[in-house]
C-alpha cells in the first residue's frame, strides 16, 4: 500500500513567500505538462494505492477536464480501496468552483482549501488576492459538491498579525463548519521575495516568542472548539484526520508523480527534477525523469522516523518502532531521552515516547537532539 501524490504546479499568480515548484498558469504550458503527467502515471509502478492527494500549485487553476483526466488516470493505474480518501487542494481565487461536483463524482472525498488568513490586511501582506467572502463561497461550493471532509490551511506569524487577528481567522474557519484545520508557522525560504524583505526589514517579522504566543492561541482556540490536535500543525474534528498526510508522518511509503514530487519506496527517498522543462522533455523523449535519490539506512532511517512520528499526538510506539527499524530506541537514545524528559519536552515510557504540550513548541530542538544522538552512535561496533 502506498499513498499517491500528484503535483499540479500551476497557480493563477505567485505568492511572495512560496518556494514550492510552481509556475503561473499558461494554457499551452499546462497542456504540455498534463500530457506528460498522464504518460508518467500510465507507466508508474502499478502499486496498491491507499490514498491520493492532488496538490500544488493550485490544482483548480487547471481546466476541469484536465483535472478529471488526471484523476481518471490515477484511479485506473492504482487500485484504490472503495471509499479511499482522495484529496484535492483548491484556492478560493482560482476562477470558478463549477468543477467541484465533477471532482466528487470522480472520487474526490476531501477538499483542502488554501486560505492562509481571513484578515484582509494579512491577505494583502501575503500577496493573496482572495477575500473572506471568496473563502466562504469556496467552502460552500465544496460542501454542496458533497465532499466528505473540508480542510482549511492558515498561516500564523504573518508580519503584522496579532493574537486577536489570528483568533478571528480561526473563529471564521470554525464558523464555516470546516472539519480540518492546518495552522503552519510562516517559514521564510531562501530565494523568495519574503527572504529579501526580511533581509531589508527584519523587525517586520515575529521572533520566536511572538510565534509561540500565536501558536498557543491557535491551539487553545481550536481545542476549545472540539478539534483534536493530532499533529504539530494539524487539527481535526473526530473522524476527519488526513489519512494521506498520516502516511507521511508514519514514515510510510508514498509515490510522488509530477515535477518536483518526492517518493519514498523500498527505503529509497527520491525527488523528481524541479525543472518543468527537464520534466516534460524527459517524458516526451521516453527517458526517465531526472531525480535525486538517497537510501536511508540504520540510524539515519531511525532518526528520520523519530522526527516524523514525534510530530503526531501518538508519538513513537516503542515496540513496533524497534521491530521496524531493528533498534532498541530506549537504550540507543537513552542519554538524549533522559535530557529531554528532564527538560519537560517529552514523556517516555516502556510503551511510548511523545512530545509534551511544552515540547510541541520546541519540536525542532527535540528532533535535533535525536538526530545528533543518532549521528553520535553511527559507526558503533
Ligand atoms: S497559491 Fe500556493 S502554490 Fe501557488 S504560489 Fe501561492 S502558496 Fe505557492
DSSP 273-336: -S-HHHHHHHHHTT-PPPEEEEE--HHHHHHHHHHHHTTBSS-EEHHHHHHHHTS-HHHHTHHH
- Cell numbers at 18, concatenated: 512560496
CB 35 within 8 A of CB 43: no
Residue 5 or 298, more confident? 5
Domains of the chain, residue spans: 2-248, 299-377
CB 3 within 8 A of CB 16: no
Task: Please give the distance, rounded to the nearest whole angstrom, from the Cα atom of residue 362 to the centre of ligand 1.
Answer: 27
Tell me which residue has cell 478571528.
168
CA gap 378, 381 in Å, rounded: 9
**Domain 299-377: which CATH class?**
mainly alpha
CA gap 352, 348 in Å, rounded: 6
116 Cα nearest atom in ligand 1: 7
The residue whose CA has the least distance to atom 2 of ligand 1 is 57
Please check the confidence at residue 26 and state whether its pLDDT lies above 50: yes
Cα dihedral sign for 77, 82, 87, 88? positive
Task: Please give the distance, rounded to the nearest whole angstrom, from the Cα atom of residue 15 to the centre of ligand 1.
Answer: 5
How high is the pLDDT of residue 265?
95
Cα 234 to the center of its chain, rounded Å: 10
Please check the confidence at residue 378 and state whether its pLDDT lies above 70: no
How high is the pLDDT of residue 375?
55
Task: Please give the distance, rounded to the nearest whole angstrom, from the Cα atom of residue 184 to the centre of ligand 1.
Answer: 14
The residue whose CA has the least distance to atom 3 of ligand 1 is 57
Task: Please give the distance, rounded to the nearest whole angstrom, from the Cα atom of residue 67 to the centre of ligand 1.
Answer: 17
Tell me which residue has cell 538517497.
294
Instruction: Fill in the DSSP letter of residue 186.
Output: P
114 Cα nearest atom in ligand 1: 2
How much is the mean pLDDT over the chain?
95
Task: Please give the distance, rounded to the nearest whole angstrom, from the Cα atom of residue 56 to the centre of ligand 1.
Answer: 7
Measured CA distances, 37 to 14, 20, 70, 191, 253 (Å): 22, 18, 8, 27, 20
Confidence class of residue 380 from pLDDT cuts 50, 70 and 90?
very low
Name the helix (H) or strand (E) containing 7.
Answer: strand 2-8
> Which residues are CB-contacts of 219 (< 8 A; sequence separation ≥ 6)?
229, 360
Question: Ligand 1 test: best mutation among 8, 17, 20, most atoms within 8 Å of CB?
Answer: 20
Task: Please give the distance, rounded to the nearest whole angstrom, from the Cα atom of residue 114 to the centre of ligand 1.
Answer: 8
How high is the pLDDT of residue 94?
79
Calculate mean pLDDT across residues 281-306.
92
CA gap 181, 218 in Å, rounded: 10
CA gap 163, 172 in Å, rounded: 14
Please check the confidence at residue 156 and state whether its pLDDT lies above 90: yes
- Cell numbers at 5, concatenated: 501524490
13 Cα nearest atom in ligand 1: 5
Closest CA to 41 of 16, 22, 69, 19: 69
Beta strands in 188-300 (DSSP E): 228-231, 234-236, 254-257, 262-265, 268-272, 291-295
CA gap 77, 40 in Å, rounded: 10
- Cell numbers at 315, concatenated: 508519538
DSSP string, 364-379: HHHHHHHHHHHHHHTT
Please check the confidence at residue 148 and state whether its pLDDT lies above 90: yes
- Cell numbers at 233, concatenated: 500543525
Q: Tens of pLDDT along 33-49?
A: 999 999 999 999 989 99
CA gap 15, 288 in Å, rounded: 31
How high is the pLDDT of residue 381?
33
Task: Please give the distance, rounded to the nearest whole angstrom, from the Cα atom of residue 96 to the centre of ligand 1.
Answer: 17
Q: Tens of pLDDT along 241-272?
A: 999 999 999 999 999 999 999 999 999 999 99
Residues with CB under 6 A from ligand 1: 11, 14-15, 18, 20, 22, 56-58, 91, 114
**Which residues face 234 on adjacent strands?**
182, 231
Show the 3-state SS of 73-127.
HHHHHCCCCCCCCEEEEECCCCCCCCCHHHHHHCCCCEEEEEEECCCHHHHHHCC
**Three-state SS for 137?**
helix
How high is the pLDDT of residue 376?
56
% pLDDT > 70, the chain: 98
Q: Tens of pLDDT along 325-368?
A: 999 999 999 999 999 999 999 999 999 999 999 999 999 999 98
Confidence class of residue 374 from pLDDT cuts 50, 70 and 90?
low
Structurally, at CATH architecture level, domain 2-248 sits in: Alpha-Beta Horseshoe (3.80)
Amino acid at each position: 500500500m502506498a499513498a499517491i501524490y500528484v503535483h499540479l504546479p500551476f497557480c493563477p499568480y505567485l505568492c511572495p513567500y512560496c518556494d514550492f515548484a510552481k509556475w503561473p498558469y499558461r494554457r499551452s504550458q499546462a497542456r504540455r505538462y498534463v500530457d506528460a503527467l498522464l504518460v508518467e502515471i500510465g507507466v508508474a509502478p502499478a502499486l496498491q494505492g491507499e490514498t491520493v492527494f492532488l496538490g500544488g500549485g493550485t490544482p483548480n487553476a487547471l481546466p476541469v477536464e484536465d483535472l478529471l483526466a488526471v484523476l481518471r488516470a490515477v484511479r485506473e493505474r492504482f487500485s484504490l480501496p472503495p471509499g479511499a480518501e482522495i484529496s484535492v487542494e483548491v484556492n478560493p481565487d482560482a476562477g470558478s468552483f463549477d468543477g467541484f461536483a465533477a471532482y466528487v463524482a470522480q472520487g474526490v472525498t476531501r477538499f483542502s482549501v488554501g486560505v492562509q488568513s481571513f484578515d484582509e490586511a494579512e491577505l494583502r501582506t501575503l500577496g493573496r488576492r482572495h477575500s473572506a467572502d471568496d473563502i466562504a463561497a469556496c467552502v460552500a461550493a465544496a460542501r454542496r459538491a458533497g465532499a466528505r471532509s473540508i480542510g482549511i490551511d492558515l498561516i500564523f506569524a504573518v508580519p503584522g498579525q496579532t493574537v486577536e487577528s489570528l483568533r478571528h481567522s480561526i473563529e471564521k474557519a470554525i464558523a464555516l463548519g470546516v472539519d480540518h484545520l492546518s495552522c503552519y508557522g510562516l517559514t521564510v525560504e531562501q530565494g523568495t521575495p519574503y527572504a529579501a524583505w526580511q533581509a531589508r526589514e527584519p523587525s517586520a517579522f515575529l521572533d520566536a516568542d511572538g510565534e509561540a504566543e500565536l501558536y498557543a492561541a491557535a491551539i487553545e482556540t481550536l481545542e476549545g472548539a472540539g478539534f483534536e490536535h493530532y499533529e504539530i500543525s494539524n487539527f481535526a474534528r473526530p473522524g476527519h484526520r488526513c489519512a494521506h498526510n498520516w502516511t507521511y508522518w508514519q514514515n510510510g511509503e508514498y509515490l510522488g508523480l509530477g515535477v518536483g514530487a518526492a517518493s519514498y519506496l523500498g527505503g529509497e527517498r527520491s525527488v523528481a527534477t524541479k525543472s518543468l522543462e527537464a520534466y516534460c522533455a524527459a517524458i516526451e523523449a521516453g527517458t526517465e525523469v531526472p531525480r535525486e535519490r538517497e537510501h536511508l539506512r540504520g540510524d539515519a532511517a531511525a532518526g528520520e522516523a523519530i522526527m516524523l512520528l514525534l510530530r503526531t499526538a501518538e508519538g513513537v510506539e516503542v515496540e513496533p518502532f524497534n521491530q521496524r527499524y531493528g533498534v532498541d530506541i530506549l537504550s540507543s537514545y537513552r542519554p538524549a531521552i533522559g535530557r529531554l524528559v528532564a527538560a519537560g519536552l517529552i514523556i517516555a515510557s516502556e510503551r511510548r515516547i511523545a512530545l509534551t504540550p511544552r515540547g510541541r513548541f520546541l519540536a525542532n530542538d527535540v528532533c535535533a537532539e535525536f538526530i545528533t544522538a543518532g549521528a553520535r552512535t553511527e559507526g558503533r561496533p
